[in-house]
Structure 1
Amino acid sequence: MVPSSASGSESPSGAPAARRRGARGGRRIPRRAAAGRRSFASSLRRLEEVAQSGAQVSVHVVELDSGRVVLSGDDHVPLPIAGLGLVPVLVETAAGFASRVLDPLQIIERPDEPVAGSGLWRHLRVPALPLVDLAVLAAAAGDPNAANALLDAVGHERVQARMVALGMPRSAVLDLFRDVRGPDDAPHVAVGTTREFARLFAALVDSRTMDAAVSAQVAEWLSLNQDLGLVASATGLDPFAHDDDAHGLLFINKTGRDRGVRAEAGVLAGPRAGVAYALTICFDDLSISHRLRAHDAFRVLGTDLMEYTH
C-alpha cells in the first residue's frame, strides 16, 4: 500500500448535533499527516520503528465533521483484532433489542466451562444474567463469556450480514472466544481493517449506525470500557468513570488484546476537532520489550490525537 492522506468526503449535514445526540500483509506505514494542522510526526516515527522491527501496522484517522482522512497506512488490510471484533456484535445486539427480536431481560446461563483468560463473569457468584447485563460486561470489561453469550444470541450470520450492511465487507467475526484454538477452530476471534472500524465509530457518534437509538445504545455501552491503557492512556480519563468528563472530552473506545495482537478503535473529540481512529499492531510477542514497543506506539498516537483535537 502507498501511504496516503486524503480529504473531502463523507460528512453528513448536521453531524455535530447528531454526535451530541448519539454519544454522550504489507508493513509500510503512513508518511504524511494533515497539512496545516498539528502533525503526527511522533506517531509516524514510532510506527515506522515498530514496522521495521517486523510488526504489521495498520492505522486510520478521520475527522468527524469533514470526513477528511488525516492519517492512514495499510488501512485496507484485514488483521487480527481480538476483542475489538465485539463492536459489531454489540451493534447487532442493540438492533435486536430495538426491534424486539431479542429480549433484553432474557436470562442466559453461564457456561459450565467458561473461558478462563479474562473477564469478570466467571468470578461472580451469580450463575445467570440477562442479555442486557451481558452487553454491559462485554463492553466494559471485555468479558469473553459475556461476548460469547451475545454472539450465540444474535448469531454469526446476522453479525456478518450487519457488518456488510455497515460497509465492512473486509472485516469479520470468525469465532467465539476460546482458551485454546484447535485445528478445527478459526485462527482468530475476528479480523478487521482500521479503515472500516474507524468509520464504524464515526457512524456511531454521528447516529448513522442503523438509527439514532441503536447508535446511542452502543455508544453508551462503549463509554463504560475500562481498558484505557493503549491510545486512551493519553486522555488522562478515569478508567472506571469517564463517560461524563468534567472538561467536555468526548471519548469512546474498544480495544482488542491477544498474544501478538493489539488493536484499538474509538472517537476522541475536543474543542478544536473530533476524530475517529483505529490502530492495529500485530507483532512477535517474544519478550516484554517487544510488547512494550507496540504499546508505546499506541500511547504516542494517543498523545498526537490529543494535541490534534485540543
Structure 2
Amino acid sequence: MGTPPEPARDTEPLRGTRGGGRRSPRRAAAGRRSFTSTLKALDALAASGARISVRIDDLDRGTEVLAGDDFETLPIAGMGVVPLLIEVAAAFEAGTLEPFEIVERSSVDAVAVSGVWQHLAAPALPLVDLALLAASTGDALAANALLERVGLPAVRARIEALGMTQLALLDRFRDARGLDDAPHVALGSARELAAMFAALVNTTAVSAGVSAQVSEWLSRGHDLSLVASATGLDPFAHESDQHGLLFVNKTGRDAGVRVEAGVLAGPRAGVAYALIVCFDDLSIAHRLRAHDAFRVLGTDLMEYVF
C-alpha cells in the first residue's frame, strides 16, 4: 500500500507549538465512536510542544477513522524492526537464508539498549530464534545480528517494494550515536505504519506465507504497556484470546520517542492503528503524560472494536 507524496488537502495537522494555535485531527466513519478522549489527550500533548502522527483505519470498510499529521516522517525507534523482519521472512521463504543458521553472539558488536539475548547463557542461536527475540522483546542484539546477515540495502529495497516512501531503516541499534552515525535507527509516518500492519494481517505483505510468519512473530510481543494496556491481555501469552480478540503490535522507544502500531480486531470491527509521539523527556511527568495518551487511544480502540 503506497502513500501519496503530499498530504490530502483536508488532512488537519496535529502539531503543537508552545503558545501557538493548533487543530485536532479529522474524524471519519460517521456514526462510529468519535475518539473524543483520544483527541483531548493528543491535543494536550500537542499544546506542550510534542510532535504527533496518528492514523487509524477500519480494516473491514477500508476507510480512515482518525488521522492527524499521519503523513509526517518522525523517528520510530525499534519499530524499524518490522521491515527487517519482513525481509528476513521473505529470505527464509525464498531459500536464500537458512532459518536454522547459527549466529555466534560474539560475532555481533555488543549493544545493551534492550533485549534478553545479552543475558542468556546460550552463546549462539539460530536466525529464526533471533527473529522471534527481535519481535517479541525488542532485542537489539538479535535485530543487529539479523540486519548484519541480510544487509541494510536489502531491507531498504524491500521497503521500496512494499510501496513505502516515508519508512526507512537507517542504522543498527547502538548504545550511543556518534557524529558519523545516523541520528536515528528508523524513520516513518503513522500512515505507512498502519498500512504495513494492515498488509500483514491481510496477507499482502510480500506473500501470504511471509505475512503470516511476521504476524506470528509479532503476536508474541511482550510490550503491552502503551495502547495495548487497554486490552487486558497477558503480555506473555496473548496469541489465543478466549474473548475473540485479535491483536498484533510492535512498539518503539527512544529518548523522547514513543511509538506503537498494530492491528486490533474484535466482534464489531477491526482496525490498523499507529501513533508516534516525539516529546521533551524532561521529567517522569512528561513521560507519563505521553504514555497516558497511548492508553487513552487503547481504550477508545477497544470501544470501537467491541
TM norm. shorter chain > 0.5? yes
Amino acid aligned to 2:143: A
Give secondary structure in 2 for the equivalent of 1:103.
coil
Residue 3 and residue 41 in structure 1: after superposition, are their counterparts in 2 closer, same or farther (change >3 A)?
farther
Q: Residue 33 of structure 1 contacts residue 41 of structure 1 at CA under 8 Å; is this kept in 2?
A: no
In 2: Cα distance, 1:141 partner to 1:3 partner:
38
Amino acid aligned to 2:205: T
Aligned match of 2:62: 67
Aligned match of 2:169: 173
Per-residue CA deviation, residues 229-264 of structure 1 (Å, 9 max, x unaligned), is 000000000000000101110000000000100000
Q: 1:94 aligns with which of 89, 92, 97?
A: 89
Q: Residue 15 of structure 2 contacts residue 49 of structure 2 at CA under 8 Å; is this kept in 1?
A: no
Q: How many residues align?
A: 291
Aligned match of 1:137: 133
Aligned match of 2:4: none
Amino acid aligned to 2:95: R
Give secondary structure in 1 for the equivalent of 2:27.
coil
Task: Give 1:3 deviation, angstroms.
Answer: 6.2
Q: Residue 135 of structure 2 contacts residue 220 of structure 2 at CA under 8 Å; is this kept in 1?
A: yes
In 2: Cα distance, 1:293 partner to 1:43 partner:
13
Q: 2:205 aligns with which of 204, 209, 214?
A: 209
Residue 41 and residue 210 in structure 1: after superposition, are their counterparts in 2 closer, same or farther (change >3 A)?
same
Give secondary structure in 2 for the equivalent of 1:86.
helix
Amino acid aligned to 1:92: E
Q: Residue 167 of structure 2 contacts residue 188 of structure 2 at CA under 8 Å; is this kept in 1?
A: yes
1:94-243 alignment to 2 at 5 Å?
94-111=89-106, 113-243=109-239
Structure 1: gaps of 5 or more residues: 6-24
| Structure 1 position 79 matched with structure 2 position 91 | no
Task: Give 1:32 deviation, angstroms.
Answer: 2.8
Residue 227 and residue 298 in structure 1: after superposition, are their counterparts in 2 closer, same or farther (change >3 A)?
same
In 2: Cα distance, 1:285 partner to 1:46 partner:
17
Percent identical = 65
Q: 2:291 aligns with which of 289, 295, 308?
A: 295
Task: Give 1:113 deviation, angstroms.
Answer: 4.9
Per-residue CA deviation, residues 260-295 of structure 1 (Å, 9 max, x unaligned), is 000000000001100000000000000000000100
Give secondary structure in 2 for the equivalent of 1:191.
strand
Root-mean-square deviation (CA, aligned residues, Å) is 1.5
Amino acid aligned to 2:156: Q
TM-score (norm. length: structure 2): 0.92
TM-score (norm. length: structure 1): 0.91
Q: Residue 219 of structure 1 contacts residue 252 of structure 1 at CA under 8 Å; is this kept in 2?
A: yes
Aligned match of 1:34: 29
Per-residue CA deviation, residues 62-105 of structure 1 (Å, 9 max, x unaligned), is 01122101100111111000001100000000000000110001
Aligned match of 2:48: 53
Give secondary structure in 1 for the equivalent of 2:248.
strand
Q: Residue 29 of structure 1 contacts residue 74 of structure 1 at CA under 8 Å; is this kept in 2?
A: no
Amino acid aligned to 1:105: F
Amino acid aligned to 1:61: I
Q: Residue 175 of structure 1 contacts residue 188 of structure 1 at CA under 8 Å; is this kept in 2?
A: yes
Task: Give 1:29 deviation, angstroms.
Answer: 4.1
